[in-house]
Chains A and B, each alone.
Chain A
Amino acid sequence: TQLLEQSPQFLSIQEGENLTVYCNSSSVFSSLQWYRQEPGEGPVLLVTVVTGGEVKKLKRLTFQFGDARKDSSLHITAAQPGDTGLYLCAGKINAGNMLTFGGGTRLMVKP
Chain B
Amino acid sequence: DTGVSQDPRHKITKRGQNVTFRCDPISEHNRLYWYRQTLGQGPEFLTYFQNEAQLEKSRLLSDRFSAERPKGSFSTLEIQRTEQGDSAMYLCASVAVSYNEQFFGPGTRLTVL
Q: Is B95 an interface residue (CB 8 A)?
A: yes
CB of B110 to closest CB in A, whole Å: 13
Any A CB within 8 A of the CB of B28: no
Residues of A within 8 A of B (CB): 2, 4, 6, 31, 33, 35, 40-45, 48, 88, 90, 96-104
Shortest CB distance B29–A (Å): 12
Give the distance in Å from the alpha carbon of A68 to the alpha carbon of B94 in the complex.
Answer: 28
**CB under 8 Å from chain A, chain B span 1-57:** 4, 6, 31, 33, 35, 40-45, 48, 55-56
Taking a contact as CB atoms under 8 Å apart, the answer to whether A101 and B42 are in contact is: yes
- The docked-state distance in angstroms from the alpha carbon of A101 to that of B56 is 17
B101 in the interface (beta carbon within 8 A):
yes
Encoded as 1 (CB less than 8 Å from any A CB) or 0, chain B from 85 to 111 comes to 000000101010100111111110100
